Amino acid sequence: MQKKSEQLLRKLKFIAEAKKNNYPNAASFAQLITSFEDEEGQPFGCSARTIARDIKDLIDVHKAPLEYDPQNRGYYLRDRAWEFNCPVYEQDFISMAMLGTRLSADLLPEPLRRDVDDAVAQTLAANCSDFFDMAMIESILCASGIKTSIDPVVFKKLFDAWRRKQMIELVYRNPKGEESSHRFEPHLIVFHKGVWYAKGYLYQTREVRVYAVQRMISLHQGGGSFETDKKLLAETKAHGLFNYPKVDGIRLHCDAEIAFYIYEQQRIMQSDLRAQADGSLVLGLKPTVEHEVMRWILAEAGRIRVLEPAWLREKVAAAGRAISERNS
């Protein structure tokens, strides 16, 4: 592995540890990193002094909001939503993919967790690049805070089918409790807002389906195969997992008492933000999914007022009246 790739992997792993509130420091992280191996099977280790230089580089060059906590003797992220954005070159893809699978293992259920490294090793031994193409980078999206309980055996079978590009036959229980059978091509496995999903097509069609993994009752390989649809990956990356229509022209007035977290999330929200004399904020949102902004407004219990459009203001008011009636 090139030195540049090694340093990049160390930095990404350090940020991942900080995001999990493990409070890494130079010494502890140098010890942790020795448990990893590169694609040639060599120990992925280095000195505490090298890690200290990485930490300084993360703060000074990459502007990571890392701060040392004396009580826990390690670093944490002041903004856990901060992302480490850096260019990844073609020669780094395998190294990045290997790190990605190891980081994802922290979130995957058994027995898949212990099989992740085996899958990487087998793919490398077969000299096959399919596992490390853009499908790998774009379709496994990892985050923390899993909100649902899923069957680990089903998850492993789904992962294997996705990796091998094999059709699956699954029994699915919808939110109403109704069960149905489907022949499905899992083109993507996506972690979205605390829930794992599979997105793809009904077998040998172009009829898009998105299935929540926790609602898969049973699953087995169906024998057929497919080629990963790069267009579906690109569209999902550009428009989101469900591709809901988005509403333009939403303007909100937010009370001063919630202004602090709106400022903190501004890098993600990218709103047209205008501070008012009383500390409140007027936000002009970028095109937003209607039900998502509705849930946010209602969750703030009156601290957000819809300025525009009028139809959304009335919809929020009607929802508020319904809540009041049911809880009076």
pLDDT digits (tens, 9 = 90+) for 128-165: 333 333 333 333 333 334 456 677 778 878 888 887 88
Q: Read off the tokens for 96.
A: 């990045």
For residue 271, count CB atoms less than 10 angstroms from its CB and return exposed for 0-12, middle for 13-18, buried for 19 or more.
Answer: buried
- For residue 70, what is the domain's CATH number? 1.10.10
Q: How many domains does the chain have?
A: 3
pLDDT tens for each residue of 223-264: 899 998 888 888 887 777 887 888 999 999 999 999 998 888
pLDDT of residue 5: 61
Q: Are residues 72 and 170 in the same domain?
A: no
Measure the CA–CA gap between 224 and 182, rounded to whole angstroms. Answer: 13
User: What is residue 91's predicted lDDT score, i.e. its pLDDT?
Assistant: 39
Is residue 76 included in any domain, yes or no?
yes
What is the C-alpha to C-alpha distance for residues 7 and 58, in angstroms, rounded to an integer? 11
Asked whether the predicted pLDDT for residue 221 surpasses 90, the reply is: no
Instruction: Assess if residue 176 is contained within a domain.
Output: yes
Residue 316 domain boundaries: 246-326
Residues 31 and 80 in one domain: yes
Q: How confident is the model at residue 269 (pLDDT cuts 50, 70, 90)?
A: confident
- Summarised one tens digit per residue, pLDDT across range 89-119 is 433 444 444 444 444 444 445 555 455 444 4
CATH (domain of 276) = 3.30.70
Residue 15 structure tokens:
């940020």
Q: Name the nearest CA neighbour of 33 among 310, 201, 22, 199.
A: 22
171 and 199 share a domain? yes
- Distances in Å between the Cα of 253 and the Cα atoms of 147, 266, 285 are 30, 15, 11
Exposure string over 10-26, b if 16+ CB within 10 A, otherwise e: bbbbbbbbbbbebbbbb
Instruction: Give the whole-number percent of the chain exceeding pLDDT 70.
Output: 74
267 plus 230 within the same structural domain? no
- List pLDDT tens digits, range 274-290: 999 999 999 999 998 89
